[in-house]
Amino acid sequence: MDNYFHSVVLSEDSCKGCTHCIKRCPTEAIRVRGRKASISGEKCIDCGECIRVCPYHAQKAVTDDLEDIKKYKYRIALVPPVGHGQFDTGTGLGKVLKAVEMLGFDEAYDISPYCDIASAIIKKHYLEEKKITRPAIYSDCPVIIRLIQLRYPDLLENVIPLVSPMEIAARLKKTDIANKKNFRMGDIGVFYLTPCPARVTSVQVPVGISFVYTDGLISIRKIFGSLSKNLRELQSLEKVEGYEFSGRGLKWGTIGGQSHSIGSKNYLAVDGIENVINIFEEVELGKLKKLDFIEAYACTGGCVGGPLLVENAFVAKTRIKHLADITPSPKLIGKEKVKELLDTGLFTWTEEIKPKKMVSLDPNIGKAIQKMEKVEEILEKLPGIDCGSCGAPTCRALAEDIVNGRAREVDCIFRLREKMNEINRG
C-alpha cells in the first residue's frame, strides 16, 4: 500500500469493523471502511495500543520465529529485564537465561548490564558534561522517538542520541564473538526477545542509525509456552550460574528505572502514550526547562506493559522490583571508560533524525486553509458526539476525511437519518 514498514499489521479475517482501535489510536491512524479497519502507514508509530485493545486479536505484530535463528551459525539471544517479570520470582535469573538457550541459542545474555552502560553514558557524558539541551530526553522506547519526530520535531534537540541497551549489547557481543570465536559477522545472529512491536520497527526501519546489529526479534508472548516448559525441566537444579546481571539495570524494565539508575535528582518519569503527549506539550511551551531529565515510555508501567508480554504489567513490575532489590549491582563504569566507548562511535546515532511531517489537510498552506474552512462548515452539521460509527475516531476526523475525498457525509449515521427524513418528507 505504501512505503512505510510497520510491525503492527491487521488481519482482515479477524477484524469485525468495531471501533475499539480507532478510538484508542493516539495518532488517529486507523479508519474503518467497508467494515474493516485499515492503518495509515504515514501516521502509525507502532505503539501497539490497537493490539492491546482489539477484542478479536485482529491486530498483530510481525516478529521473527525461532525457525529464523537457524539461518545463523552462531546464535545469541538478548533477554530484557521484562523477560524475568514473566516468571515467578523464585525461578531465578540464571534459569530464565538457560531456558532461553535451550530454545536453540548458543548463548543468552541478560540486557541489565548493558542498561548500566547506557546509564553511565547518559549520566557521565550527557548530563554531567551538559552535552544536551535541557530537559534531556532519553528513550529506550522506539515509540517515543517516532512520536517526537511526528508531533514534536522541535524537541529532537533534547533527545540524547544514544542507541538502546539492546543495540549496545548486540554491538559489543557481536564484535567480541567475531574476534574470539573466529566467526564472520554475518554468521552471528543476534535475537532480542521483545515485549513490543515498536522494537521490531526500530530494527527494520532504524532511526538515528543506518546499520543495526540486532538481526531479529522474537515476541516473548510467542515463546512463553516453550520457555515455561524448559523451566520445568530445570526445576530440579538448585541454581544456574555463569550469567551476568545488574540489579540496577533490571529496573530499566519499569518506569522510573532509568532515572533511578542515572541517579538524577531532578527528573520526570512518564508512562502511557497519552500522558507522554501531555508532558511533551508542556515541554514545547517551555514550561519544564528546569528539569534535567525526562524518561518516557509509551506503555503504562514502562516496557513491563508491552503488548507482546503475557503477565499482567503490575504483577510483573512487582516481580522486577523484587529481583532488582536482591540482585547485586556492579559499579557503573567511570568517565574514562565512557569516553573510550563513545570514541569508538559505535554507540551514538550516526544519522540526523529528520522531523516527519504531520499529515496536514493539504501540502499547500493556502489550500489547507480553504479546506479547513470547509471542515468547519461540515463540522457544524455533524452531531459532535465522536461515536466512531462512521469509521473515523472523531467528528472532526470525519470532516477532514470528507474534505479530502476519503469519506462521505452520509457515512455519519445521524446525517444519513436526516437525509432519509428529508427524502421521506419529499
Partner 1 sequence: MSSRDMVILSYRVNPEDFAKAGDASSNTKKVLKKLGIPSDITRRVAIVTYEAEINITIHSNGGEIIVSIDKAKIEIIARDYGPGIPDIDRAMEKGYSTASDHVREMGFGAGMGLPNMKRCSDEFQIESQKGKGTTVTSTIYIHD
The secondary structure element, H or E, covering residue 33 is strand 30-33
d(CA 87, CA 95): 10
Q: Which range, of 176-184, 261-269, 280-288, 292-300, touches partner 1 by CB under 8 A?
A: 280-288
- What is the smallest separation between the CB atom of 244 and partner 1, expressed in angstroms? 43
Residue 137 φ then ψ, to 5°: -115, 125
Contact pick of 68, 187, 362, 409 for partner 1 (by CB under 8 A): 362
Distance CA 193, CA 199 (A): 10
Stretch that binds partner 1, among 68-76, 95-103, 174-182, 357-365 (CB under 8 A): 357-365
Q: State which residue, 212 or 372, has the beta carbon closest to partner 1.
A: 372
Question: Cβ neighbours of residue 151 under 8 Å, at least 6 residues apart?
Answer: 27, 277, 280, 358
Residues 313/282, Cβ–Cβ less than 8 Å: no
Decide whether 326 or 358 has the Cβ nearer to partner 1.
358
From residue 105, how far is each of 88, 97, 127, 178 by CA, in Å?
23, 10, 37, 16
Q: Which of residues 384-403 bind partner 1 (CB under 8 A)?
A: 400
The Cα–Cα gap between 139 and 155 comes to 13
Q: Is 405 in the site for partner 1 (CB under 8 A)?
A: no
Count the Cβ atoms, other than its own, within 10 Å of residue 344: 11
Among 34, 90, 286, 426, binds partner 1 (CB under 8 A): 286
Is the CB of 284 or the CB of 292 nearer to partner 1? 284
- Binder to partner 1 among 240, 353, 368, 387 (CB under 8 A)? 368
Grid cell locating 406: 476519503
| Cβ pair 140, 162 in contact under 8 A | no
Interface with partner 1 in residues 78-117 (CB under 8 A): none
CB of 39 to partner 1, least distance (A): 20
Answer yes or no whether residue 9 interacts with partner 1 by CB under 8 A.
Answer: no
Is position 244 an interface residue for partner 1 (rule: CB under 8 A)? Answer: no
Q: Which of 12, 154, 233, 274 binds partner 1 (CB under 8 A)?
A: 154
* Amino acid of residue 203: V
**Count of alpha carbons within 13 angstroms of residue 295, beta-carbon side:** 27
E-assigned strand segments in 161-261:
188-194, 216-219
Q: Please choose, from the candidates 7, 45, 10, the residue with its C-alpha nearest in 3D space to the C-alpha of residue 29.
A: 45
Using the rule CB under 8 A, is 355 a contact of partner 1?
yes
Residue 377 binds partner 1 (CB under 8 A)? yes
Q: Assess contact for 78 and 170: CB atoms under 8 A.
A: yes
- Residue 361 lies near partner 1 (rule: CB under 8 A): yes
Q: How far apart, in whole angstroms, are the C-alpha atoms of residue 186 and residue 96?
A: 27
* Nine-digit cell string for 356: 516527519
**Among 185, 369, 413, 420, contact with partner 1 (rule: CB under 8 A):** 369
Q: Pick between residue 155 and residue 188 the one whose CB is nearest to partner 1.
A: 155
Angle between helices 273-284 and 142-151 (to 10 degrees): 50
Cβ proximity to partner 1: between 328 and 363 the closer is 363
CB nearer partner 1, residue 62 or residue 361: 361
**Given 90, 363, 405, 426, the residue binding partner 1 (CB under 8 A):** 363
Report phi then psi at 192, rounded to 5.
-105, 135
How do beta strands 30-33 and 36-39 pair? antiparallel
Which residue from 42, 68, 187, 284 is in contact with partner 1, where contact means CB under 8 A?
Answer: 284
Stretch that binds partner 1, among 134-142, 301-309, 340-348, 373-381 (CB under 8 A): 373-381
Under rule CB under 8 A, how many of the chain's residues touch partner 1? 26
Closer by beta carbon to partner 1, 370 or else 389: 370
DSSP code of 159?
B
Q: Which of residues 299-318 bind partner 1 (CB under 8 A)?
A: none
Taking residue 186's Cβ as centre, other Cβ atoms within 10 Å add up to 11
Q: Mark the segment that binds partner 1 (CB under 8 A) among 42-50, 116-124, 293-301, 367-375.
A: 367-375
**Taking the complex as a whole, how short is the minimal distance between the CB of residue 168 and partner 1, in angstroms?**
31
Give the interface with partner 1 as residue ranges (CB under 8 A): 151-154, 281, 284-286, 355, 357-358, 360-366, 368-370, 372-373, 376-377, 400
